[in-house]
Structure 1
Amino acid sequence: MAREALDSGRGEEALEQLSLLEAAIGQHVAVIHLQALALRSLQREAEANAKFLLARRIEKPPFDPYLCANHAALQEKLGYIAEAEKSFDDAWQKAPERSDICMARLGFIHRQFGEKAAISAYNVMTAMFPESTALRHRYALFLQKIDSTAAALRETEHVLKLNPNLSGALHLKARLELDGGCGNAVASYTKAKEHDPNDLSITQGLAAAIWNRDGAVAALHFLDAQLETQPEWINGWALRARIAWQSGQAEEALSGYQRACSRLPMNDMLWMRRLEDVAKMEGSSKSIEIALQRGGLLELPPLLRGALAEITSTAGDLQNADALFDSLSENQVPHISYVRHLIRKHQYAKALELAERHAMHFNDMDSWVYVWTLWRVLADSRLEWLEAQGRLVSYVDISEFQTLQGQLVQKLKQLHAQMAQHPFDQSPRGGTQTDGHLFARTDPEIVHLRSLVHDAVKQVVADLPPVDPAHPFLSGPRQSVRYTGSWSIRLQNSGFHEAHYHSQGWMSSALYVALPDTLGTSANSAEGWLELGKPPHDLGLDLEPLALIEPKVGRLALFPSILWHGTRPFPKGERLTVAFDIKAAE
């Protein structure tokens, strides 16, 4: 009963039941272990640590390796790194054959000591159990996370030699080949789909692989066949729209959603996705026009009214947006959309109250974006703390970049060649964006680029202000980082980025690969420059950028992901960049 309560997130109830059990049977290691876990779940970490220490002190053989491993995780969180290292080592020595214990230890080594140390530790582990499919499979997933795609593929192929029908490994092999731009991803996805035909993430990957190899027409044909039998697959319709749009087939992107909604006229999730995507492709007016085909705006289901409230507000129709927001109950209102709406109405104090509640109580990164913006509008005294005296924004000129530039430009242009226009749900305007995770590719130019970038990132992260547990950017661990997304942008002739932010990232970037000679040369003529801190025009705020960064070939700009960033248009030519988001290693 106590374990069930703990697993269900009812920590207080678990503690009560464990106290009754302890009163009946006296001190017992398993009971104390569960008490420690319950206390940890309730953020009572000092008490949890004391319980772990007690349990480990009185424990007798046979030892439970998970007691050490769970204690180690808490010690790491508390900053007791040497103690955590010893506890992870103890757990592994007690159960070296358990892949989850091995990977927990490996994750700790990666977070605290970096990628090379983690790989060395794994080599010791796998030497003990070279035929462990579970360990090798987990390690391949780890290698995938650190963008070591070629090594991850080797591990995955070894796993498949040991167990040719392991569905997870079949899917991983296909994904690695797609992301890495190597092997035969279509064949690998086809095989994975044969083993697991109901996994729609495999179907989605196969569509992407067909698009990459055979082009948009073939990918759309494949998706149409899948959607004919699975019309409820909303992500499939969204992928279809994205492929059609990026290949220059705007009408085809719109018509797919029209067919979908004709088949499923009451599927609110599908309609919401359609309305949001159409607003990004064709503008708010077109989206509202489509919504009216379903019925009067105030007569639509709450899910659609919430989406349309944001769409009408963005279009400047504040009166209809008011009516839509007012028609929703408090728990139905999308709070970020409402914050944005309040800003457009110049109700800054009310917007800030809502944004602060979600930012500070739930550490919601979307909300922190608007807290930062509104503190600037209202000249809040906390701005100095939040902006850390300007030390959150920096750039590095990578000295070795010139030796890579020519080959890198050629490779990136190849990747851009199949794209006709920008993704409708991303920030570029007047250009294209590569698909997939760029740093996962196995091309020598990309592998070299990641290495140069990683060294620069480590330098910048090391120079950040000290950890501040209350700060949205400076609060977390940063000994080791990983790349959660990476891509290239090609802007041409008056191209620019709309102001945006990345709530799923921690630190974002812009690396300048090739530049036209038409960019501005000073802050007074800053065509093509990076603007940091300037909100999008639709919010109606007259805030100047916090920083302007001049593009230079080989320059890497780094800044908080929750800081508005965009670029100014430039007259003509081509501007080629690489961008990525990073987070602390998990």
Structure 2
Amino acid sequence: MSALLQSAAGLMKAGQFAQAERLLADGLATHPGDVEARHLRAMALGQLGRFDEGRAEFNSLAKKHPAPHAVLSNLGNLERRAGNLSAAAEAYRASLQIQPGFADAEFNFAIVLSETGDHEQAAGLFQGLSERLPDPLAALNGLGNALSALERHDAAIAAFDRALALRGDAVGVRINRAAVCRNAGRLAESLSELDRACREAPGFAEAHYQRGNTLRTLGRTEDARAAYAEALRHAPGRVDIHRELASLAWESGAGQDATAAMDVQLAVRPDPDLALAKARILYRGGDLETARAALDQALSWAPDHAEALALRGEIRRVLRDGHAGLEDLEAAFAASEGRNCAIRHQLVEGRLAASDFAGALALLGKEPEAAHLQKHVALKALAWRGLGDPAYRDFYDYDRFTWAGTIRTPAGYDSLAAFNAELEAVIAKLHTTKAQPLEQTLYGGTQSPGRLWNEKDPVIAALADSLLEAADRFVAGLPHDPAHPFLRRKSNRLKLTGAWSVRLRSGGGHVDHVHPAGWISACYYVAVPQSVLDGERAGWLRLGASGVRGLDMAAERYLKPEPGRVIFFPSYMWHGVEPFAGDTLRVTAPFDLVPD
């Protein structure tokens, strides 16, 4: 069997998994007890997507193989490939319990931890691996990515620098370093790194794609468009690149033509994921019928595509075909086996829109992972409100949980009006597009690219300092309650996270929404039209109105914007902006806060 095992291993190394599986199956027909052949075959089955067969074989072998830690590690690889990240983590833990320090299991476990959002533990594992592996390049790259996700930008760049010191031609590491530089506001350095990556690997789509992202953040719209197009020339099927190119085209005023490149690719090769991406662009752009047609096409190619079913269900609801919409949403939930929290929330919205408040509440159940908690609480609050449950007021107590006040004038300015005038001029330079981003909630205006705090401008830095001081005052006045999902996170150390600027024209506003990535959300008012200051509610911030289409629940509180004023509220609280008419722009700087 040794020659057969060597041949099978060679085929697998060459990516010829079907041939390897057939060879091993033939060998096992005469040597059914050969555990190494069974082990290799289980690995091949996993690569071929025959997950149930491979899983059964790995579980059986874990009790018989002389190296059960290796079997369990490879079981983890299969579960990760199958999308079962919790099962993958469990397998890696079991492997490491048998053989602590087993590098393969530890490395892949760290990857799964990163994929599930536990970047802190992932960073610890990658750090340890980087210190003891003879070739720590991959571990340093993983460490840099984990630290980047934790927004420890300087430490992430240091990890990538260590990796590049080992191998300067590691283009993938250089690209990751450039992405962190972009997130840290070091845009010139990011672009320089990506220019070099594109020179060294001109056929590498990821280099051109990330270069497009940096150019877009710099406001160089046409150059970004060209970079995305070059990336697609090398990877014409990359859905993420198509999505960014289409959204940039939309913001540049292309309208329905924004998905032209997607249409060209779909005519060449059927791809349900790309058709879904096209549908999302069209849906957010307001072309619901064409979006539904794209989803029909996606589902003709992949009838059980959970995300396509969910979006078609959402669109059918909006088009007032509620029964069919709920059918699609139920099918999506079943196809995802209830594991996809975003689809669960879409189904909850469908039930809320049908006034099935008890059914919506039953679906929400226990708290989800942190990434979905704010939306989860927001939907649960709507169900409580619909049922008349007093639990609603435990979360929508506007007197306790919201605060509005004027920031302190930053040092060096004679007045807050003088500061705002300079800030407005700085913000104006950041707005280089013509239409609102498709992924955001505003209409009738534009939004700055990237994160506002990454701008290396002393005026924006002064704004951040004043806002953080105001936030400290707000949080200090919050009550203590370790059982409350909002209050239990109270901290005397806060961090400004997501931030952007918005310039609304006459007729503009915001649809009602929540901020999934925040804990506290806020808005600072830079410039407010006189018509808004003199009016009643037009252009004001509204709180409490339902953000679920088809569920009409009126706003419960309106707050008047004034230049120099900041308003704080929980990130799960539904909020929007009333449309207004005026001769000047309404300029704001919304942002999120999290405990540091």
Alpha-carbon shift at residue 473 of structure 1 (Å): 1.5
Alpha-carbon shift at residue 186 of structure 1 (Å): 3.0
Structure 1: gaps of 5 or more residues: 22-28, 31-72, 75-90, 92-97, 104-133
Distance in 1, Cα, partners of 2:300 & 2:187: 51
Distance in 2, Cα, partners of 1:407 & 1:160: 42
* Structure 1 consecutive aligned stretches of length 4 or more whose deviation exceeds 6 Å: 1-7, 15-18, 137-147, 151-164, 196-199, 295-298, 360-363
Residue in 2 aligned with 1:115? none
Q: Where in structure 2 are the equivalents of 1:237-276 lying within 5 Å?
A: 237-265=242-270, 267-276=271-280
Alpha-carbon shift at residue 237 of structure 1 (Å): 0.3
Contact 1:179 1:436 in 2 (8 A): no
Residue in 2 aligned with 1:226? 231
Instruction: Give the aligned residue type for 2:460.
Output: I
Alpha-carbon shift at residue 202 of structure 1 (Å): 4.2
Superimposed CA distance per residue, residues 258-307 of structure 1 (whole angstroms, 9 cap, x where no aligned partner): 12322331x22222221122111133222113334567799674442222
Distance in 2, Cα, partners of 1:273 & 1:465: 43
In the alignment, which of 556, 561, 564 is matched to residue 566 of structure 2? Answer: 556
Residue in 2 aligned with 1:492? 505
Structure 2: gaps of 5 or more residues: 1-66, 77-87, 102-119, 131-138, 411-415
Residues 183 and 584 from structure 1, CA distance in 2 versus in 1: closer, same or farther, beyond 3 angstroms? same
In the alignment, which of 421, 444, 458 is matched to residue 435 of structure 2? Answer: 421
Alpha-carbon shift at residue 582 of structure 1 (Å): 2.2
Residues 202 and 504 from structure 1, CA distance in 2 versus in 1: closer, same or farther, beyond 3 angstroms? farther
Find out whether 1:209 has 2:220 as its counterpart.
Answer: no
Distance in 1, Cα, partners of 2:398 & 2:577: 23
Distance in 2, Cα, partners of 1:15 & 1:322: 42
Distance in 1, Cα, partners of 2:206 & 2:286: 28
User: How many pairs does the alignment contain?
Assistant: 480
Instruction: Give the aligned residue type for 1:409.
Output: E
Distance in 2, Cα, partners of 1:203 & 1:386: 45
Superimposed CA distance per residue, residues 11-65 of structure 1 (whole angstroms, 9 cap, x where no aligned partner): 99959978xx9xxxxxxx99xxxxxxxxxxxxxxxxxxxxxxxxxxxxxxxxxxx
Find out whether 1:571 has 2:575 as its counterpart.
Answer: no
SS at match of 2:487: coil
Find out whether 1:466 has 2:480 as its counterpart.
Answer: yes
Residues 465 and 367 from structure 1, CA distance in 2 versus in 1: closer, same or farther, beyond 3 angstroms? same
Alpha-carbon shift at residue 199 of structure 1 (Å): 7.3
In the alignment, which of 287, 290, 293 is matched to residue 294 of structure 2? Answer: 290
Contact 2:496 2:591 in 1 (8 A): yes
Contact 2:407 2:466 in 1 (8 A): yes
Alpha-carbon shift at residue 2 of structure 1 (Å): 9.8
Distance in 1, Cα, partners of 2:521 & 2:331: 37
Distance in 2, Cα, partners of 1:440 & 1:495: 26
In the alignment, which of 337, 354, 363 is matched to residue 346 of structure 2? Answer: 337
TM-score of the aligned structures, taking structure 1 as reference length: 0.70
In the alignment, which of 378, 384, 387 is matched to residue 378 of structure 1? Answer: 387
Contact 1:310 1:341 in 2 (8 A): yes
Identical residues among aligned pairs (%)? 21
Distance in 2, Cα, partners of 1:2 & 1:144: 33
Residue in 2 aligned with 1:393? 402
Find out whether 1:410 has 2:420 as its counterpart.
Answer: no
Distance in 2, Cα, partners of 1:363 & 1:211: 28
Find out whether 1:445 has 2:425 as its counterpart.
Answer: no
Residue in 1 aligned with 2:328? 324
Structural RMSD (CA):
4.5
Find out whether 1:349 has 2:354 as its counterpart.
Answer: no
Residues 466 and 488 from structure 1, CA distance in 2 versus in 1: closer, same or farther, beyond 3 angstroms? same
Find out whether 1:315 has 2:319 as its counterpart.
Answer: yes
Instruction: Give the aligned residue type for 1:448.
Output: A
Distance in 1, Cα, partners of 2:190 & 2:497: 21
SS at match of 2:474: helix
Instruction: Give the aligned residue type for 1:183.
Output: A
Distance in 1, Cα, partners of 2:92 & 2:300: 47
Residue in 1 aligned with 2:538? 527
Moved more, 227-236 or 204-213: 204-213
Alpha-carbon shift at residue 541 of structure 1 (Å): 2.0
Residues 532 and 15 from structure 1, CA distance in 2 versus in 1: closer, same or farther, beyond 3 angstroms? same
Contact 1:430 1:493 in 2 (8 A): yes
Contact 1:363 1:472 in 2 (8 A): no
Distance in 2, Cα, partners of 1:163 & 1:566: 50
Alpha-carbon shift at residue 325 of structure 1 (Å): 3.5
